[in-house]
Amino acid sequence: MKEYFPKIEGNNLERKHFILPKDLEGDLNIVIIPFQRIQQSMVDEWTYDLKPLYDQNEFLHLYEIPTLSSAYRLMSWMIDGGMRAGIPDKNVRNHTITLYVNKKEFKKTLKIDTEDTIYIMLVKKDGEILWRAEGHVNDEKIKQLKDKLSEVGEHITFE
């Protein structure tokens, strides 16, 4: 049974409004979902290991989607401002979309059972989730992602 990323709204760190998943720029998108600030090192590990993959394949984009409770929406200007100040790379800010949502519903839709780790998903433009992983990056997870990309039929460069 196919799984789909929910329709949800958020702003990137350059203050551009997004309606996900339709506004994701890639034909295929790697979406990294952290729930806690302490998880940033895991996000950075994935981003570093995947950079050659999305740099060499223009149909593939990577997004970091920090997910916070809607209770923090009133403080979003301060939270997003802090994140913006901490990220000097404009491309990274453009691809970081903060969500202020009902996390219980969001997690239920995506079959996420804990906020104690991060989730990585390969999402098509129409929202279909083709692959998913959680936690720290490792060679096996990268291989599974590359295998899925090849299976999808995209001409992909893996250097």
CATH code for position 120: 3.40.30.10
> What is the model's pTM?
0.92
Domain assignment of residue 158, yes or no: no
Tens digits of per-residue pLDDT, 24-40?
999 999 999 999 999 99
3 state DSSP class of 30: strand
How many alpha carbons fall within 13 Å on the CB side of residue 106?
A: 21
Residue 155 lies in a domain: no
- Residue type at position 51: K
In a domain, 99, yes or no: yes
- What range defines the domain where residue 132 resides? 3-149
In a domain, 159, yes or no: no
Residue 154 lies in a domain: no
Tally the domains of the chain. 1
Residue pLDDT, tens place only, 76-99: 888 888 888 888 889 989 999 999
Mean pLDDT score across all residues of the chain: 93
Beta-carbon contacts of 121 under 8 Å, excluding residues fewer than 6 positions away, are: 5, 30, 31, 33, 110, 129, 131, 132
Beta carbons of 97 and 18 less than 8 angstroms apart? yes
For range 45-71, the mean pLDDT: 93
**What tokens does 29 get?**
């998108």
Is residue 88 assigned to a domain? yes
Q: Is residue 157 part of a domain?
A: no
